[in-house]
Chains A and B, each alone.
Chain A
């Protein structure tokens, strides 16, 4: 059983750093040279030749191709990172977005149809979320949070109020408190109830006249729908506070229920999660912000408007209450166009089907895995669920071991040690695009790992064995901080590698 599905064919090569390759004169690229450069020698303060690798085209291609083979992506297999919504990224959306490449934003003729489509995305996100207005400029989820909290801060100021505390449930993403701090707020963590969702009665104890807002993720990072959300919104509004929703988990509820109907005042969505745009190994993402009517004046500039002659243009003024610009241009435009293409591709029913299937797939895994691993909460869940290493820890096997062992079965591990409310958490989100065969393969891998944890626990500490490198020493990296390639004068062995 165990071992029968081991992956044994990860790449065979270990690729040296680019600066150790090539040599003077290797790069023979013929470059566009329309001008006579003899006139350009009046430049003040010039440099010697920049210190870059001098490699041929073939060496560049081999280098980055080999590096790519050391990576695991969605197109390899299931990537069940909880709250990251690693769903399949449609290729057609990439093809469409590539058409934007040659357009300079000052090219107003070419930009008009782009702005028209961006306006459509704003409209469609508004309808999906049940919100009144949208700004597409935040370049990532955390940027959206920051923008949203600045909107709330400015709205409070315009009301002549100086509320400085934002309440954040203990299940929240780390970006929530960090974004609040940069927006000038103090944060206070509040416990979610025993059932894994925030109870209105708990919130009530923490509300006072300094409460600016509650920042909540719904469904939350345990995969649980915040059942008391409407009562929570009511309490906040009665208290003069705002309800901010982190839309990281919107994929679970698209077309099913709308944050606007829950009483949410301000929220962001992650286009690189719910709307199928690729994560790119760490961006570019996109984190549009949506608000209710009363917060619209505070949204960032520029605004997309349809002028008298029916053309879409950008306006910086007059928006005296706007928080201002949050990006030098228009955020991650091509990511927005990919997300629009995704929405148009699926249509309203397709979005519903995606949300429904995301939960079906997660519940299927949960039901099959809860016999083998400790399930942190019995409360019904949607698109993701959290297991822990409680049953395996007795034999000395930790969540980290379980995660690394999964690599040897050809899977990316789930999100680990998060949310913080579950010790040794394994947060699993398969998404709607996983075929049943892949879900079953994942179950078999987890069964194998559970058996290995009982029978040969020490073996799990050694995993991964089939990945391009063995377990990586992250402590060594922090203690021997090396953030650029070693100076050519220093040999790698002197650094102890």
Chain B
């Protein structure tokens, strides 16, 4: 297939206007020694039907998989509206007069995310939850006196690994992992208290990787007077529909993953990192942000603002290098939240929590107890050997995500997630096939 519109006559006119005979002459400035003589050994060209046939992908029938990426109901209007070409084929809204659609939608996304997290400000998005965390740590390290970073070991393993990648190239004295209680699955509060000080930026995930809800009231009492900076990480944005807004605990940042808001699991991406903070940190914040303004005649309008923090103005002194972010995913989140509304989001979050409790009950009836005792949101760790996990996967059912691979201290364990996409029948089927 070719997406070029010129016919022979057009090409003739173009060549004549440029003053060359053959198209290849446009490359006369490229040294001949560097030019490719032969066609590259690539597959194609292919017609659309061949592409449809060759690039065929299908999901397994049933899945209880979560662990940072979740399957949730996506109202049909999300795809219908987010696939409008006016949104899809636009560039970053650097020219506000003809980008008000993107800008207002980002502004609305920011408003809803700030409201849900209980923070004052949200940026326009980050690549994913892990890079949002890494950027939050870099932001903390730019504050005078902060030299160490502490994270809870019950935090999503991939987040901790991305954080380590970023911090390996930053000025940081130490990266500390705060252990969890092997019985409850919650962060060990005694160890937490010992790990932090005024020189430390602490990040705690709740609900944590095991699905366990951290004792946030107690955490807040310990952290708010001790840590120099702290952040709450939320990898399941849907939990914001039922759990107290993390901002109410008073952190400096709330960051994480909002894929659950209208974005599919999508084989792992694109995801939607969110970054919320307090006004006092806004000039240190990474990433784009849309602001309210007015046009020449005084009418309401929107534009990108605070760009003096950003790479295209500030270059090597920018607060981050991020440029292209996850704009269309943020738009999907805005449409999703509008479609769900306050009741819908809360009801769906409750469905997830209820589903996890339903499955847990079925497993308990069979004598299979969860690995951890503390209350969970919608996922929990169960004992299951890797071989059995793989056996079930080969029959078209995905019971969960292998945990023991990342946590050798919990051998033979799998994280099972229930959402509103699962049915009671599926839960019974899983329990029967354990």
Contacts and interface: CB of A to CB of B under 8 A. Distances in A.
Contact of A63 (B168, B338, B390): B338
Interface string B171-205: 00000000000000000000000000000000000
B87 A68 contact: yes
A343 B44 contact: yes
Contacts of B231: none
B44 A39 contact: no
Contact of B358 (A39, A105, A173, A255): A39
B104 A67 contact: yes
B40 A334 contact: no
A347 B45 contact: yes
A139 B98 contact: no
Given A17-B104, A29-B75, A279-B90, A484 B271 contact: no
Given A68-B81, A103-B59, A127-B40, A497 B168 contact: no
A331 to B, nearest CB: 6
A281 B93 contact: yes
A257 B34 contact: yes
Interface string B378-390: 0000000000001
Given A140-B323, A281-B91, A347-B46, A104 B36 contact: no
B288 A96 contact: no
Given A55-B341, A102-B71, A174-B315, A382 B322 contact: no
Given A32-B420, A51-B342, A325 B158 contact: yes
B242 A43 contact: yes
Nearest to B83: A94
Contacts of A257: 27, 30, 34-36
Contact of A174 (B11, B45, B318, B423): B318
B95 interface: yes
A291 interface: no
Interface string A456-497: 000000101001111111101110111111100000100111
A469 B86 contact: no
Interface stretch (A202-210, A358-366, A384-392): A358-366
B131 interface: yes
A256 interface: yes
A84 B91 contact: yes
B343 A472 contact: no
Contacts of A471: 97, 295-296
A184 B294 contact: no
A357 B4 contact: yes
Nearest to B73: A32
A72 B99 contact: yes
B15 to A, nearest CB: 8
Nearest to A229: B34
A111 interface: yes
B410 interface: no
A352 interface: yes
A348 to B, nearest CB: 4
A483 B282 contact: yes
Given A104-B59, A367-B17, 20 more contacts: A17-B108, A18-B334, A43-B353, A47-B244, A52-B341, A68-B84, A106-B65, A283-B329, A332-B269, A344-B44, A345-B51, A360-B23, A364-B17, A469-B97, A472-B294, A474-B96, A477-B292, A478-B291, A484-B110, A496-B294
11 contacts: A43-B375, A50-B342, A109-B60, A140-B325, A142-B322, A143-B321, A178-B311, A178-B315, A257-B30, A359-B27, A477-B305
